[in-house]
Amino acid sequence: MKEVILLKYGEIILKGANRSRFEALLLREVKRRAARVGQFSVRYAQSTMVVEPLTDGEDMEEMYRQSKYVFGIVGITRAAVAEKDMEDIRRVARAYLPARLAGARCFRVEAKRSDKQFPLTSPELAAEIGGLILEEMPALRVDLTHPDVTVRVEIRDHAAYVHAGQEKGAGGMPLGSGGRGLLLLSGGIDSPVAGYRMARRGMTLDALYFESIPYTSELARQKVVTLARCMAEYCGRIRLHVISLTEIQEALRDRCEEDYFTLLLRRCMIRLACRMAEECGAAALVTGESLGQVASQTLAAICVTEEAADRPVLRPLIGTDKEEIVQTAREIGTFETSILPYEDCCTVFTPRHPKTQPVPEKVRAQEALLDLTALEDAAWETRFAVNADPPEL
């Protein structure tokens, strides 16, 4: 009996002229992952991608796991293939379903028939397969409203499929469909999650990390490389750029009012990030800010920071609680790395009483005490790129 993996991408993303572009992006992503696992053919038909192993020895478990990472896929299931003939569908259902229903107490059957030439209607087909399951597994019962497992029979143009226990896919939009953004990636919990959220909406990412050696360490940088690697599992290849803020931070410490350090630094970060975004073709910045989380994330502070940007600053976590952010960080596997206790440049020379209600004129007056252009030009020259590709990419 032949088994395949079915990936459903739903109708939402397929409207209008974008359909073929989205499908091509999805196909490319699934093929890229399939090539890592083994030999599979990948094709699509009727809002479903069919991933078919080309030999008996392919690792279906791993292919299934990989498929769960694909943005734009809303449902995923392993399925047995049958001929479009009732006799064969019965044979396959009998052989395939008992293992898939093991442990369940109740089930329902849904049938879908996109080939209207098929002699049975969908309700007839569902009743037929339901009866067959009850014969094979008499301890089970039918529950149409709260089944433990939903069995599906699909009659499609090219074949029939029998499956049970479809799971949710990663959702979102196909990677590459949402433009390019530059993620400000610190070693913290929030920014990797912010990047994940945007990638899930189709955005490809470059990342920028600011360091302040010797106040921050090589280990702190290594942690960010690990985070970018971790994210690449979902978000595709991420180019990681690094800029040193040491001189800027020392100048701020020497010449500006302490209460303004953090805000002044954040404005420098934003201006340098905009330069970097321009260089790597990113139309927007992405940060992990969440309203009210720290002094620099009050609305007034965000407004003052935003003023320094020449392009949109996307803050996908702005309305998200820390607890929810932590939950996602755990799900995407960045949490354990994020909580390693290395210092971040934002915590170097931290003011005792950071301004939470900054006055823009006052901030600009503080900036006038510095030769910002020279300082930022010098910082810009420190930039370099780090390879953050996972080994298997």
Judged by CB under 6 A, which stretch of 29-37, 118-126, 166-174, 340-348 contacts ligand ATP?
340-348
Applying CB under 5 A, does 188 fall inside the site for Mg ion? yes
Note whether 166 and 76 are within 8 A (CB): yes
Helix axes 261-280, 372-381, angle to 10 degrees: 50
Size of the residue set binding ligand ATP (CB under 6 A): 20
User: In the range 175-194, which residues lie near ligand ATP by CB under 6 A?
Assistant: 184-186, 188-191
Applying CB under 6 A, does 209 fall inside the site for ligand ATP? yes
81, containing H or E segment? strand 75-82
User: In the range 310-349, which residues lie near Mg ion by CB under 5 A?
Assistant: 344
Q: Which of 48, 67, 177, 186 binds Mg ion (CB under 5 A)?
A: 186
Nearer to ligand ATP, 67 or 337 (CB): 337
- For strand 284-286 and strand 180-184, is the pairing parallel, antiparallel, or unpaired? parallel
Note whether 318 and 298 are within 8 A (CB): no
Applying CB under 6 A, does 294 fall inside the site for ligand ATP? yes
Per the structure block, which two tokens stand in for 329? Answer: 């960080």
Judged by CB under 5 A, which stretch of 21-29, 187-195, 209-217, 297-305 contacts Mg ion?
187-195
Residue whose CB is nearest to ligand ATP in the complex, by number: 188
Applying CB under 6 A, does 354 fall inside the site for ligand ATP? no
User: In the range 296-315, which residues lie near ligand ATP by CB under 6 A?
Assistant: 296-297
Q: Which of 346, 348, 375, 388 binds ligand ATP (CB under 6 A)?
A: 346
DSSP 259-324: GGHHHHHHHHHHHHHHHHHHHHT-SEEE----TTSSGGGSHHHHHHHHTT-SS-EE-TTTT--HHH
Q: List interacting residues with Mg ion (CB under 5 A).
A: 186, 188, 344
Q: List interacting residues with ligand ATP (CB under 6 A).
A: 184-186, 188-191, 208-210, 287-289, 293-294, 296-297, 344-346
